[in-house]
Structure 1
Amino acid sequence: MLVRYPWVLATLAVAALGGIAQLTTWHAYTWVLPAGYALVVAGRSAWRMTRELRRGTYGIDILAFTAIVASVAVAEAWAALVIVLMLTGGEALEDYASARARRDLTALLSHVPRVAHKVTSDGTTTDVPVDAIAPGDQVLVRPFEIVPVDGSLVTGSATFDESSLTGESLPVERTAGQEVLSGGVNGSTAVVLSTTHAARDSQYQQIITLVEGASASRAPIVHLADRVAIPFTVVALAIAIGAWALSGDPARLAEVLVVATPCPLIIAAPVAFLAGTGRAARRGIIVKSSATLESLRRVRTVAFDKTGTLTRGAPSLVEVRAAGGLTDDQVLRLAASAEQYSSHVLAAAVIGAARSRDLPLSGAETAQEVPAHGVTALVDGRSVVVGKRTYVADAVGVSLAGTTIGPGEMAVYVAIDSSYAGALVFSDEVRGETPQTLERLHEHGVEHIVMLTGDDRLTADHVGQALRIDDVRANCLPADKVDAVTSLPHRPVAMVGDGVNDAPALAAADIGIAMGARGSTAAGDSAHVVLLRDDISTVADAHTIARETVTIALQSIWVGMTLSAALMVIAAFGALPALVGAWLQEGVDVVAILWALRAGLAHPSTPRKASARRP
């Protein structure tokens, strides 16, 4: 371990040799070795500060440099050596603390698959680099191996441990034809997958990319610590020089400076943010940058997409209400045939309902989708229009009355050959965790909840009333969602969504939050936070973790500064010998870093009452 840090090893060796010399006839000269070595380290520190100044950054090692020189000048060589240990050991201490804080993030990186077992045309397998796998290849995944690329299951059924992806501890079962995400761990049965993505585009690699970005980023709080360190240095020098001037004892200068090194400012805040992002990763929350974590704790408004976010996003057919002399199955079959060319979640529901009735779908000669409105297609020589009531009404040229729907229901309207043909009524239930999630956000200081949806006003109001959301915006196109997010007055604004049509709004929000491990790539790429679990309660978890992380980061900075300031005052009055002060400052560093590591631990929630809470 110490071999990785030669300056720490050299410092300990000098201390050991100095101790041995003190027990021999050379004891009168024991100060020479530690003093000389301390000055060498001080020179190294001065050279590093000079290079930083040339690059336009301000080094704050000046306190340590001054403390070493002053200690040697007043014959406190052992105090100088302790400062050197603190200075050289700071790198090792930061590495340890950062590794401890980053542990949950790097756990993913340490298990990246490098090799895949490709199934060849003759049924045998050959090991190839995972990057050589292309979509359409078949891959064998042996028992307890990590799935190397995204794919669909070819063989029977199997269970997979996806806890590293979603935070869900229970294994999930997949059957033939279902999607299997890379990064999950196969169960006790060997399986074959038909790959759907190359390794670089697979879920696991995308998560790793997010993790690497989160690890490398710096939050505004970290920059604040850097800025505070400079005035702290000026104040410490002023106290030290003042104590020397008033007492006439040059030893006071050294005694004050040895307890003034600002290591807590340098290390504590970054460690806290790494610990916080690691804690979030354990909950299935990937925060792309530390700056996002700092912004998230201040959020005042949260805007939610409805379908697939506040609701489960898996609508089921309740009823077909045919009109114009057509049967229910005719309307459903033609509507599903047209909806094959739409990416909307309701399109998938229409197609699924038709297939559940074993209705044969036809291809379309032409098809055109208007996002968030509907689809027009030519199916079996018939013009089919499927979508929102206003969209279908425009197509037939007459006003259509809305069909009666109940709470949690929605309707898709159909026109065939320019005549109204009926409505398909679906039910999409609100997630069970949604009400409690909104309650937690309010209790933790979020003042406004907004629902943005492309659904008709009637459907949107049903859901809004059930969840007691009074700012409901219906009939929203993707551009309307962007306008809503950018114009909301109470900022910062977080936007939560899961679909391709949410991607622009996620990018436009102060904090974009993409829902679900299987959400669209576009949404995940546009978002600042990606929730790997398909569980909306993790939105509130992310907000809680952000608040607690920033609080602990600030606490660790002020704890370190306060303890150092108290020690400086004591030393200024001559009550703290230089050697004792140097060891106490080492203790201050350890306290500040241990305090910062608390950001990686779960804490009891202490929500405050929000004044904007609705009855």
Structure 2
Amino acid sequence: MSVPVGTRPGTAAPPGPVGRLLRVPRRYPLVAATLLVGLAVLGLLAAGEPAAARWAGSAWAVGVALHVSWGMVRDLLAGRWGVDLLAVTAITATVVVGEYLAALVVVLMLTGGQALEDYAAERARKELNALLERAPVLAHRLGPGGAVEDVAVEEVRPGDELLVRPAEVVPVDGRLVSAEADFDESSITGESLPVTRRAGDEVLSGVLNEQRAVVLRASATAAESQYATIVAMVREAAASRAPVVRLADRYAVPFTAFAFLVAGLAWWWHGDPVVVAEVLVVATPCPLLLAAPVAFLGGMSRAARNGLIVKDAGTLERLARVRTAAFDKTGTITYGRPELRAVHPAPPWDEDGLLRLVAAAEQYSSHVLATSVREAALARGLVLPAARTAHEEATHGVTARVDGHEVVVGKRAHVARSAPGTPEQPLGPGELAVYAAVDGRFAGTLVMSDRVRADAAATMAELTALGVRRLLVLSGDARATVEHVAADLGLREVLPECLPEDKVRTVREAPDRPVLMVGDGVNDAPVLAVADVGVAMGARGATAASESADVVVLTEDLSRTATAVRIGRRTVQVALQSIWLGIALSVALMLVAATGVLPAILGALSQEVVDLLAILNALRALRGPRREP
């Protein structure tokens, strides 16, 4: 029997409520044991054995306090400070004054903190977990005669033909062999409507095949496919810690000191050690430890739901403070698919002859313009000869030996070095020129045009509304072309005709920080790496751009850049709110307890309510504010 490639191949069905309940004692033995001791204590009290109940409850509470103290000592030796000291002191104080029921509640709160965090984190990780759980483990490989063989996805090699059945996840990147098929890409890109692909189109791993069985030809191994890279980024993101989370850790020291100060003053004022216990049981700030991580997991999950992979939690904190946004032009602000508008040959060349030589030389370039030139030549039915030698100068152009001719293609300045006197091609709005020289003489130009993305203007306006003070365009294209595009978007700052090192220097020296840089090509990798937040647009998992970026946009939607900033702002806002909510409520309860009117057992139960409120507030990071556009 074949195993579906889809949602959770090779794994057991998720446990039901009863199964999850049965897993609790194995996963959280101290919580289960504390509940059992609590029931035993209540049973002894009901049986009229208060002395036995007190001894049982106190012994268990002291035992847990010793266990926690040993862990606390190890943390201190490792240079980490926490608030476990408060919990241990609270347990000890309640046992000493005979408030053993309150001691058990504190023990439950202490041991149950991890369980509470895990539960909240599971909710916050919902979208991240969905990506991980969908990772295929099997593929249906077609053999001779059409026989279907189920193989581990790691065994698939480029060129293998794979059968993908309805409702199965595409296991590796490939190209569609079947005539046509619909794919659900919502889990990766956030797009709700199915996307139709036709024979020869690229199909990315991780998308869901819709209604009919299709055949794909693998173009990458599983490890090199987009989905494997996404999964790796998600795992790294889920394990990271944001600066706000570490800041919450540092709050522990002053909070602990303040709690001991209040308890000491209460003892001095009342002269009653019971008040010390009553203050300390409400001073255990679990929200300080739990709320911020839950909020950041929620923010990363929300980003994944919107087709954004945020590589670490610290990136969300930097996104929240972005003050400068820089954009590459081609493939980022524009669609990155320039179309050939005209060929202007110089004698003795005609249009097809010039286009044929230029396209042949451009076969050895990775630039997006080179791809468009090759496609235009093939569309005219031209046969492209192979070059004997070829050399590319990044962002400048290509020099190649084609059919016995020395062909130089690229920017005017690059071509003019081989053909002095190369004239400047007049251009219309949004156009750019590819210059060519053959055997040291100017041979003509190809005029290309690349449209600005429909959502570009709205994205710039939204970033400005989110507090980004400075917007600029960095491009290797000619000044006239870059300035025209910038003017269309209402942007005044441009840096045209720049090399990768010029982009790096501009971003590194930008005065208003943090700086967000958005790009899509291999040549953008250096500047994405030095930016405070690098964003790779429409990434294919293995590209240098996505590997250097902090955020990967899984669609060709520029507006997701503003969405990332908005999610970062919301996440940090909710995290800080949750931290201060927990601190404020704990301080308020301490001050009330210091008056001696709050019994220890009620104080301990009140602190449990504070934990829940802070964590529920942190889960608000999963969604935007009510007025969010």
Q: Place the TM-score, normalised by the shorter chain, in its bin.
A: over 0.9
- Residues 499 and 519 of structure 1 are in contact (CA less than 8 Å); yes or no, is this contact kept in structure 2? no
Deviations 1:479-510 (A, max 9, x none): 22112211222221111000011011111111
Rate the CA distance shift 1:511–1:294 in 2: closer, same or farther, 3 A: same
| Equivalent position of 1:274 in the other structure | 297
Which amino acid letter does the alignment assign opposite residue 534 of structure 1? E
The answer to whether residue 444 in structure 2 is matched with residue 422 in structure 1 is: yes
Identity of aligned residues (%): 54
The answer to whether residue 596 in structure 2 is matched with residue 547 in structure 1 is: no
The answer to whether residue 620 in structure 2 is matched with residue 587 in structure 1 is: no
Matching residue within 358, 363, 368 for 2:381: 358
- Residues 166 and 517 of structure 1 are in contact (CA less than 8 Å); yes or no, is this contact kept in structure 2? no
The answer to whether residue 87 in structure 2 is matched with residue 87 in structure 1 is: no
Moved more, 29-38 or 228-237: 29-38
Deviations 1:101-144 (A, max 9, x none): 11111111111111111222343121111111122222221222
Separation (CA, whole Å) in 2 of partners of 1:404 and 1:146: 50
Separation (CA, whole Å) in 2 of partners of 1:519 and 1:486: 26
| Equivalent position of 1:613 in the other structure | none
Query: Deviation of residue 58 (structure 1)?
Result: 2.1
Matching residue within 185, 190, 193 for 2:208: 185
| Matches for 1:390-401 after TM superposition, within 5 Å | 390-398=413-421, 400-401=422-423
Rate the CA distance shift 1:144–1:606 in 2: closer, same or farther, 3 A: closer
Separation (CA, whole Å) in 2 of partners of 1:27 and 1:381: 103
| Equivalent position of 1:570 in the other structure | 592
Which amino acid letter does the alignment assign opposite residue 15 of structure 1? G
The answer to whether residue 72 in structure 2 is matched with residue 49 in structure 1 is: yes
Which amino acid letter does the alignment assign opposite residue 424 of structure 2? G
Deviations 1:37-94 (A, max 9, x none): 2111111111211222222222321111111111111111111111111111111101
Rate the CA distance shift 1:503–1:279 in 2: closer, same or farther, 3 A: same
Gaps of 5+ in 1: 608-615
| Equivalent position of 2:484 in the other structure | 462
- Residues 226 and 541 of structure 2 are in contact (CA less than 8 Å); yes or no, is this contact kept in structure 1? no
Which amino acid letter does the alignment assign opposite residue 460 of structure 1? V
Query: Deviation of residue 27 (structure 1)?
Result: 4.0
Rate the CA distance shift 1:119–1:521 in 2: closer, same or farther, 3 A: same
Matching residue within 122, 131, 138 for 1:99: 122
Separation (CA, whole Å) in 1 of partners of 2:33 and 2:541: 53
Moved more, 187-196 or 272-281: 187-196
Matching residue within 180, 199, 204 for 1:157: 180
The answer to whether residue 220 in structure 2 is matched with residue 197 in structure 1 is: yes
Separation (CA, whole Å) in 2 of partners of 1:284 and 1:526: 18
TM-score by length of 2: 0.94
| Equivalent position of 2:545 in the other structure | 523
What SS class does the counterpart of residue 489 from structure 1 fall into?
Answer: coil
- Residues 499 and 520 of structure 1 are in contact (CA less than 8 Å); yes or no, is this contact kept in structure 2? no
| Equivalent position of 1:70 in the other structure | 93
- Residues 500 and 520 of structure 1 are in contact (CA less than 8 Å); yes or no, is this contact kept in structure 2? no
Gaps of 5+ in 2: 1-20
Query: Deviation of residue 28 (structure 1)?
Result: 5.2
Moved more, 427-436 or 479-488: 479-488
| Matches for 1:434-445 after TM superposition, within 5 Å | 434-445=456-467
Separation (CA, whole Å) in 1 of partners of 2:418 and 2:128: 52
| Matches for 1:338-357 after TM superposition, within 5 Å | 338-357=361-380
Separation (CA, whole Å) in 2 of partners of 1:63 and 1:318: 73
| Equivalent position of 1:407 in the other structure | 429
| Equivalent position of 2:623 in the other structure | 601
Query: Deviation of residue 456 (structure 1)?
Result: 0.8
| Equivalent position of 2:307 in the other structure | 284
Query: Deviation of residue 17 (structure 1)?
Result: 1.8
Separation (CA, whole Å) in 2 of partners of 1:140 and 1:155: 10
The answer to whether residue 505 in structure 2 is matched with residue 491 in structure 1 is: no
- Residues 38 and 57 of structure 2 are in contact (CA less than 8 Å); yes or no, is this contact kept in structure 1? yes
- Residues 165 and 517 of structure 1 are in contact (CA less than 8 Å); yes or no, is this contact kept in structure 2? no
Separation (CA, whole Å) in 2 of partners of 1:343 and 1:48: 55
Separation (CA, whole Å) in 2 of partners of 1:491 and 1:575: 50
What SS class does the counterpart of residue 413 from structure 1 fall into?
Answer: strand
- Residues 276 and 549 of structure 1 are in contact (CA less than 8 Å); yes or no, is this contact kept in structure 2? yes
Query: Deviation of residue 371 (structure 1)?
Result: 1.0
Q: How many residues align?
A: 606
The answer to whether residue 159 in structure 2 is matched with residue 133 in structure 1 is: no
The answer to whether residue 81 in structure 2 is matched with residue 58 in structure 1 is: yes
| Equivalent position of 2:252 in the other structure | 229
Matching residue within 485, 495, 500 for 1:473: 495
- Residues 282 and 589 of structure 2 are in contact (CA less than 8 Å); yes or no, is this contact kept in structure 1? yes
- Residues 326 and 473 of structure 2 are in contact (CA less than 8 Å); yes or no, is this contact kept in structure 1? yes
Which amino acid letter does the alignment assign opposite residue 321 of structure 1? H
- Residues 540 and 546 of structure 2 are in contact (CA less than 8 Å); yes or no, is this contact kept in structure 1? no
| Equivalent position of 1:610 in the other structure | none
Separation (CA, whole Å) in 2 of partners of 1:29 and 1:123: 75
Moved more, 410-419 or 92-101: 410-419
Deviations 1:561-604 (A, max 9, x none): 00000010011011211111111100000001011110111224
- Residues 324 and 419 of structure 1 are in contact (CA less than 8 Å); yes or no, is this contact kept in structure 2? no
Deviations 1:447-491 (A, max 9, x none): 111111110111111111111221111111122211221122222
| Equivalent position of 2:390 in the other structure | 367
Which amino acid letter does the alignment assign opposite residue 340 of structure 1? Q
- Residues 520 and 539 of structure 2 are in contact (CA less than 8 Å); yes or no, is this contact kept in structure 1? no
- Residues 101 and 271 of structure 1 are in contact (CA less than 8 Å); yes or no, is this contact kept in structure 2? yes
Which amino acid letter does the alignment assign opposite residue 139 of structure 1? L
Separation (CA, whole Å) in 2 of partners of 1:114 and 1:606: 38
What SS class does the counterpart of residue 365 from structure 2 fall into?
Answer: coil
What SS class does the counterpart of residue 395 from structure 1 fall into?
Answer: coil
Moved more, 274-283 or 51-60: 51-60
The answer to whether residue 47 in structure 2 is matched with residue 10 in structure 1 is: no
Runs of 4+ in structure 1 over 6 Å off: none
Deviations 1:236-276 (A, max 9, x none): 01110110111101111001001000101111111110000
Separation (CA, whole Å) in 2 of partners of 1:146 and 1:198: 15
Query: Deviation of residue 155 (structure 1)?
Result: 2.2
| Equivalent position of 1:452 in the other structure | 474
Which amino acid letter does the alignment assign opposite residue 345 of structure 1? V
Moved more, 520-529 or 93-102: 520-529
Separation (CA, whole Å) in 1 of partners of 2:510 and 2:88: 51
Separation (CA, whole Å) in 2 of partners of 1:520 and 1:423: 34
Separation (CA, whole Å) in 2 of partners of 1:128 and 1:419: 57
Separation (CA, whole Å) in 1 of partners of 2:342 and 2:77: 73
Which amino acid letter does the alignment assign opposite residue 160 of structure 1? F
| Equivalent position of 1:611 in the other structure | none
Separation (CA, whole Å) in 2 of partners of 1:178 and 1:286: 24
- Residues 409 and 459 of structure 1 are in contact (CA less than 8 Å); yes or no, is this contact kept in structure 2? yes
Moved more, 39-48 or 15-24: 15-24
Deviations 1:403-448 (A, max 9, x none): 2222221111122222222211111110010001011111111111
The answer to whether residue 409 in structure 2 is matched with residue 386 in structure 1 is: yes
Please tell me the root mean square deviation across aligned C-alpha atoms, in Å: 1.4
Query: Deviation of residue 25 (structure 1)?
Result: 3.1
Query: Deviation of residue 33 (structure 1)?
Result: 2.1
What SS class does the counterpart of residue 223 from structure 2 fall into?
Answer: helix
Which amino acid letter does the alignment assign opposite residue 180 of structure 1? V
- Residues 184 and 193 of structure 2 are in contact (CA less than 8 Å); yes or no, is this contact kept in structure 1? yes
Deviations 1:317-360 (A, max 9, x none): 11112222422222112111111111100111111111221122
Separation (CA, whole Å) in 2 of partners of 1:81 and 1:538: 49
The answer to whether residue 203 in structure 2 is matched with residue 172 in structure 1 is: no
Matching residue within 221, 237, 259 for 1:214: 237
Rate the CA distance shift 1:122–1:84 in 2: closer, same or farther, 3 A: same
Separation (CA, whole Å) in 1 of partners of 2:65 and 2:167: 53
